[in-house]
Amino acid sequence: MRNFNLDKYLADGKTAYGKRSDIEALADKLTQRGFKNIVIIGIGGTWAEWSPVVHVMRHYTDVPIYLENAAELCIKNDKRFLTKDSLVITASASGDTKEILEATMMCKQMGIEVAGFSKDTETLLAKELDYLIANPCGDCEDSYLMFFLLGLRLLYNRGEFPDYVKFADQMANLHTNLVRIREEFEPRAAEIAKNYAKEPYSIFVGSGTLWGETYLFSMCILEEMQWVRTKSVTSAEFFHGTLELVEKDVPVFLFKGEDEYRVLDERVERFCKTITDKLTVIDTKEYKLDGIDDDFRIICSPMILTAIVTERLAAHYELTTGHSLKFRRYYRQFDY
């Protein structure tokens, strides 16, 4: 596979899964500390990665969970939900994301403890956190894995997700599955990139547990890293504006999920099949997970999607466009 280091990937996966005991210890400590609500702070890719975690957690708990944009939270006038009784969680792989740092320091000034993930103990964010889980791995599925372990362990402690131990045990099989899934998708990734990477405009549609990854791929990967013009929209909102932009030669990418919103994805698929000749449907349900129960497929679906599009499809877009995934004109290049 292009630009894929198998040994490093599996080693990173082992490291990420190896954080399980630390994450569980933190969840147990936070449970003993107590909380009346959960406030998760992200921005851009971190907001997107927390999105499916929050979506799943809300199915099992009656604890209010807020997923907040860090920049908006800092200037939001109504912060009545954010108190010393809140469990605040955030993440920044680099540890220096400006908005995440500002939101964390704002919470500290309010006397509110913050737990979070960063690449090591030396980042700016790590030094501000009251509780830290070091996350040195760069792949999105590692972040998803650790975020889900924390979120679902918290619910397990409340008696709301009794299958946690089975879930966590089976996640030991995650990365070998995702290697095989990458290999299965690789030829299709090359074909899709060849056909669509240089299109002037593409529409990306997803919903539910896959919405965060849909948004992440279209904005953080294609717009930021490839300068490809995209529109990302949920399957529900697609029929309230975006459908008018679908024409015979407009590429539409539909990421079909496995949760209750799949029926909305199928509605988009039926419509687009009658309009455009450039519909690409990527269905996580088509990819087998060995050693992982079907009950956990919805949880794993964003991990499948990130493996095949954010990882493999992005690599082939880079090859086709000739534009490095590492080059930015503006992002982090100067203060703004």
Which domains are delineated in the chain? 6-162 (3.40.50.10490), 173-321 (3.40.50.10490)
Distance between CA atoms of residues 33 and 248, nearest Å: 57
Counting Cα atoms < 13 Å in the Cβ hemisphere of 287 gives: 28
- Maximum C-alpha span of the chain: 57
Helix (H, G, I), strand (E, B) or coil at 310: helix
For residue 303 the two structure tokens come to: 């991990």
Helix (H, G, I), strand (E, B) or coil at 279: strand
Q: Are 37 and 129 in contact (CB under 8 A)?
A: no
For residue 97 the two structure tokens come to: 């994301």
What is the pLDDT, as a whole number, of residue 230?
Answer: 98
Helices then strands, each counted (H, E), the chain: 14, 9
Residue 233: closest CA among 242, 225, 224: 242
Could you tell me the pTM of the whole model? 0.96
Q: Which residues of 104-137 are buried (b: 16+ CB within 10 A; e: fewer)?
A: bebbeeeebbbbbbbbeeebbbbebbebbbbbeb
Per-residue pLDDT of the chain (336 residues; tens, 9 = 90+): 989 999 999 999 999 999 999 999 999 999 999 999 999 999 999 999 999 999 999 999 999 999 999 999 999 999 999 999 999 999 999 999 999 999 999 999 999 999 999 999 999 999 999 999 998 876 789 999 999 999 999 999 999 999 999 999 999 999 999 999 999 999 999 999 999 999 999 999 999 999 999 999 999 999 999 999 999 999 999 999 999 999 999 999 999 999 999 999 999 999 999 999 999 999 999 999 999 999 999 999 999 999 999 999 999 999 999 999 999 999 889 888
Distance between CA atoms of residues 174 and 151, nearest Å: 18
For 269-291, the pLDDT digits (tens) are 999 999 999 999 999 999 999 99
